Structure 1
Amino acid sequence: LEKLTKKIEKEYSADLTQRIRKLEQRGIDQYEIKAKEILATAMQSYAISHATEITTSTVAIQNDEIKGRIIGKEGRNIRAFEKVTGVELIVDETPGSVMISCFNPIRREIAKITLEALIKDGRVQPARIEAEYEKAQKLLAKRIKDAGEAAVYEAGVLDLPEKLIKVLGRLEFRTSYGQNVLWHSVEVSLLGAQIASELGLDVNLCKKAGLLHDIGKALDYQVEGSHTDIGAKILEKFDIKEEIISAVKSHHEEYPYESIEAKIIQIADQISGARPGARKDTLENYLKRLGDLEDIALSFQGVEKVYALQGGREVRVFVKTDQINDYEAQKLAKNIASKIQDELRFPGEIKVNVIRETRIIEYAR
């Protein structure tokens, strides 16, 4: 029986491969087309541009003589500035600029406003530093409030408590992989609402949950815990509905999904983060991800060479034709995809493209 099975499989492997593909495609095509229509509509409607930022701030100066004033006699001014603002001020040989470094984005922005005011005034001394710092705190508080109000207006979520809007506004000065978190949140809100509308689900729930899904990042550098847990606590404090809190908690799969809307927020979050140019990743992480993809594919027998392409969105696998037939190539693609899914975390999907190349060479003499 075993010999007969192998003989049949060998004789009809090409036919079996073709039939499997047709059956799979028939089931997938109609769902894939509809899904692509929904996502394409959502993405085209709400393509928000993101300004990529870094964890340091640069302040331009007209000439390098100002650096001497910033440092002060025996470093008095720079020490006073760092003590008052709580940042590190880097004054080096870089022409036309000084750099502010601080993990806390709010503190860093206040320091930047303070330094710009001191440079404009021309008087850099401890007393002036304290005075300008107080002004900068008030100015930033207004900017945070304005940013929060602009975000809720853009997202069409107009019934949030005023204090919660101020917390949301702090995300204007928070980045994730270089992506501005406030406008990422607005984009997730709009994408989620569009997808929910196409599927006939709760649009308002997706709007609010999308806008608030990263609210914990407004305070995650001050409070211990993951940003999802911090966000849930913030929303509980403001008596936000439980279904919104549930969607916020589950958008990174730390908690189970309790509604389809919660899953939509997770999808919208991935779309926004995966949009080309939306985020910066470290070179080390990027190279590691590509290396891991290639290593997984190379671990299978019969694989000759592997290339990870399109930033890790496609894995092109070349197989040895004398070891892998067409039927086995189909199974190999499935096995590689399954192993990638089990061992790696990634947004969106990764295409596994197995290529079995047949070359026929003849010579004309």
Structure 2
Amino acid sequence: DEARNSLIEKMQRDVDHEGDVMIQRMVERVKDNGEDRCRDILASTLQRISSSYCQESTVSSIEIASDDMKGRIIGREGRNIRAFEKATGVDVIVDDSPGVITLSCFDPIRREMGSRSLNKLLADGRIHPSRIEEVVAETKKSLNEEIQKSGVQVSFDLDLPGVHPKLVTMLGRLKYRTSYGQNVLSHSVECARICGMIAAEFGLDQDLAKRCGLFHDIGKAVDHQYQGGHPEIGATILKRYDEAKEVINSASSHHNDVPQESIYAVFTQAADSISGSRPGARGESLERYVERLEKLENLVTSFAGVSNAQAIQAGREVRVFVNAQKISDKKAVRLAHEVAKQIEEQLTYPGEIKITLIRETRVVEYAR
């Protein structure tokens, strides 16, 4: 039994060693053959596209001519401010800040409607419950028309005919949605263009690729009445309006919730990462930023053999320092893959994260 156990342990060590060598060879082969081609395609794509980004938040500030207007907005016994909040669905914050009234709402479309309505009321000067309801109704109608025009314009700019009217409206709603501070409609349009360019490099259907990129975040256009994550919701919406199976799978799989079933889904995921990881594209609060870096470093240091981890480049890269006595060069390759896999499964982050594993041996001696 002892001899058998010793033989099994030796065989297991040999298999692990061979597996590490095989992984390293496969990685080197893939890098040699594919890195140059991928670099050429992505560099060509990025050089051909340029977009501006819109940073937004959950509040809007309205400037007023004098603090006397605050009393008129509040109204007798607060009737005006209550009527405004009821009609728009936003919270009106009137504090000691001079010359400013703040509107707060997590729904950006409601917040935009409230901001426009209040500006109209301030310009008109007539502020009472009946007038508030009238102005809000007019603003809601004009905003819905603008949403529809935005969706139509996007379809026209990307030269995508045959888009269902309901999807056109949802595209317009994305104009007032943000993700990590990045305007979702601008992000979707950029993804569509990147997908189309990559598909052109491969000689594939550009229109289908653009539809995949454009509709991958369509699930963010709906409110709380739908249950589930936005990839799942988006796939359900696209299926309802008879989009191609490649478009549906691209929406449902761009966060790896389901397997990717076509090359267009791979294009969409790549375009989503490119658009989101571009410097300046997205923003986040200091607290969330620090929390994200701490989670990243804590996850990496939880692996056996890791002595230290440092998140750099705003969390786009993490440097992993390992104990040279516990981790060999061959095991370092496997450890890097395991770290990357755990980060993908447990953390939420924009773009991609580069894992740089560092193993070094230092010998110190003193000459006396």
TM-score, normalised to structure 2, is 0.84
Amino acid at match of 2:346: L
User: How far, CA to CA, are the matches of 1:230 and 1:142 in structure 2?
Assistant: 25
Say yes or no: does 1:305 pair with 2:308.
Answer: yes
1:174-220 deviation line (CA, Å, top 9, x unaligned): 11222111111101101111111112222111111211122222113
Shift of 1:31: 0.7
- Segments of structure 1 that go 5 or more residues without pairing to the other structure are none
User: How far, CA to CA, are the matches of 1:214 and 1:333 in structure 2?
Assistant: 34
- Segments of structure 2 that go 5 or more residues without pairing to the other structure are 1-5
Aligned partner of 1:159 among 159, 162, 182: 162
Q: Which residue of 2 aligns with 1:292?
A: 295
Say yes or no: does 1:132 pair with 2:135.
Answer: yes
User: How far, CA to CA, are the matches of 2:122 and 2:168 in structure 1?
Assistant: 32
User: How far, CA to CA, are the matches of 2:42 and 2:358 in structure 1?
Assistant: 27
Aligned partner of 1:354 among 352, 355, 358: 358
Aligned partner of 1:344 among 343, 346, 355: 346
Aligned partner of 2:126 among 123, 127, 143: 123
Shift of 1:261: 0.7
Percent of residue pairs bearing the same amino acid type: 43
Matches within 5 A, 1:156-305: 156-300=159-303, 303-305=306-308
Shift of 1:164: 2.7
In structure 2, the CA distance between the partners of 1:220 and 1:43, relative to structure 1 (3 Å rule), is: farther
Shift of 1:65: 1.8
User: How far, CA to CA, are the matches of 2:129 and 2:147 in structure 1?
Assistant: 27
User: How far, CA to CA, are the matches of 2:22 and 2:336 in structure 1?
Assistant: 21
Amino acid at match of 1:278: A
Shift of 1:230: 3.0
User: How far, CA to CA, are the matches of 2:305 and 2:89 in structure 1?
Assistant: 59
The alignment partner of 1:99 has SS state of strand
With 132-141 and 218-227 compared, the bigger mean Cα shift is at: 218-227
CA contact (8 A) 2:320 2:355 kept: no
CA contact (8 A) 2:220 2:234 kept: yes
With 104-113 and 282-291 compared, the bigger mean Cα shift is at: 282-291
User: How far, CA to CA, are the matches of 1:194 and 1:246 in structure 2?
Assistant: 20
Amino acid at match of 1:64: D
User: How far, CA to CA, are the matches of 2:285 and 2:330 in structure 1?
Assistant: 34
The count of residues paired between Structure 1 and Structure 2 equals 351
TM-score, normalised to structure 1, is 0.84
In structure 2, the CA distance between the partners of 1:271 and 1:220, relative to structure 1 (3 Å rule), is: farther
Q: Which residue of 2 aligns with 1:80?
A: 83
CA contact (8 A) 2:318 2:353 kept: no
